[in-house]
Amino acid sequence: MNALIQKMPNWIAKPFADRSRWWIFAVFFVLVFFLFTHQRQDSTCTHNITVYNAIELQLNCDTNSINNYAHDPVKLVTEFHNWKGRPVYLAYGLIVGHALMPVAQPVWRLLIKPWVKMKAYFNNFSRNFHIHLGYVLLNILVVFFCARSGLRLSKVPITNVSAIALAAAIASLDLVQGGVFMFHTNLFNMVAAVGAAIYVSMGMSAHFQTSRQVSLLGGLVGMGILTYPSIVILAPAYLVGNVYGRLRWPTTSASWGTLASRYALFALSAAVLPLLWYVLISQVFETQVYLTAKYGQFVWILEAFNNGDLLNSLSIHLGSFLGALMSTLDTEGCLVAGALLGLAAMGGKKFWALLTTPLVFCLFIAALGVLSFNFFQGFYAPRLHISVLILAYILIAHMAYALRLHKTGALLLSAIVAYQLMDAALHTASS
């Protein structure tokens, strides 16, 4: 790689000379690659937009629904709809989308409009292009945030070759392909998974945090809940981190009473915004907030208990959940298992000792939280449980680096990247 850079003109080679930027280039390459891959096929709800006869963007029913409420904040609070529990996401579209209008319209007229071919919704797409642009930029930032957070969690230096492969593996998830160039909340499943691991880690060091920092961490969770509901798993993740830190370092950690009071402050801070929103909608505007009851999400277990059919219902849902999980993670799951078994064989006893470290615990609890949330949700589309792959890739990178098998870790993660890119090129995305 260094020899190739030396042969480049100076103005091209200069950005590549700094190895700390290579992970950025890896993520950027993957996102550009996804512009030229297949999206979901046209249907009554999904409509593809072709640009330059090669690039495919996508609109669907949710896209247009979000558009309507991002344009009209009065409808957001007075009508009952799917997005009532995600006001922060819609507010972003309203504010940032309109702020981008001076930039979006020239881009649309000069670079996109002359080259667009689409079967439906042309007027809708052109009229709302500034909002599309705002959400696409947000999605790209989400991918970069998850990649950078994954590198931090892995404890692999960003200049290491396995770190670059890890960033590419996170960015090449099928979830990214299906959602990054279509504004939708799907990508926040990645934030829920990575964020849960971060919050377990933050919970371990809660006794070092000031009350203001604890309040801020809780407030971010509250704002996250009003952006995408699955981010609620960060709250119990922080609690588990509190308990783990107290049990693992009893002599240096704060007392149980102190930790309990800090978590109470955290939970209160996290609950303030969602409760205020709920009271505003239900009492002032007298409409409902969430549609989960209508679709049977989360309420199925209570209904089964009331009907005296709890065990049978749990068995049925567990079978459906495991089936969906296995069908979604089949090839990637095998690649992850093979990579970890290979590292175990090469690392020997040190590999098994590393499984008891706090970082591995963070990743395990985050994965357990995501999967538990998805199971009790009762809606087993691949959007949420596929994000667990990020945690598995972080684990591979961390283990390889800790075992000083840098090139091996990079090779294993590169094989995963190659498969995910090949799958994106050959098949439609899961969005």
* 8 Å CB contact between 244 and 205: no
Mean pLDDT of 48-65: 78
Is residue 1 situated within a structural domain? Answer: no
- Domain ranges, residue 84: 21-426
For residue 11, the model assigns a pLDDT of: 47
Is residue 3 situated within a structural domain? Answer: no
Is residue 6 situated within a structural domain? Answer: no
What percent of the chain clears pLDDT 90, i.e. is strictly above it? 48
Dist. CA 182–CA 127, nearest whole Å: 16
State if pTM tops 0.85: yes
Mean pLDDT of 200-218: 93
The amino acid at residue 342 is: G
- Which residue is listed with tokens 């679709």? 295
pLDDT exceeds 60 at position 10 = no
Closest by CA position to 347, among listed 411, 414, 410, 404: 404
Dist. CA 69–CA 86, nearest whole Å: 11
pLDDT exceeds 80 at position 48 = no
Question: Using the 8-state DSSP alphabet, how is residue 80 labeled?
Answer: -
For residue 357, the model assigns a pLDDT of: 94
For residue 42, the model assigns a pLDDT of: 67
Q: Which residue has the higher pLDDT, 32 or 15?
A: 32
pLDDT exceeds 80 at position 265 = yes
Dist. CA 427–CA 161, nearest whole Å: 29
Is residue 401 situated within a structural domain? Answer: yes
Is residue 133 situated within a structural domain? Answer: yes
Q: In Å, how far from its chain's centre is CA 225?
A: 13
Closest by CA position to 193, among listed 175, 178, 211, 206: 175
Tokens describing residue 204: 């371990």
- pLDDT tens digits for range 295-336: 567 788 888 888 888 889 889 989 999 998 888 888 999 999
pLDDT exceeds 50 at position 207 = yes
Q: DSSP readout, 102-128?
A: HHHHHHIIIIIGGGEEESS-HHHHHHT
- As for how many domains the chain has, the answer is 1
What is the band of 290 on the pLDDT scale with cuts at 50, 70, 90?
Answer: low
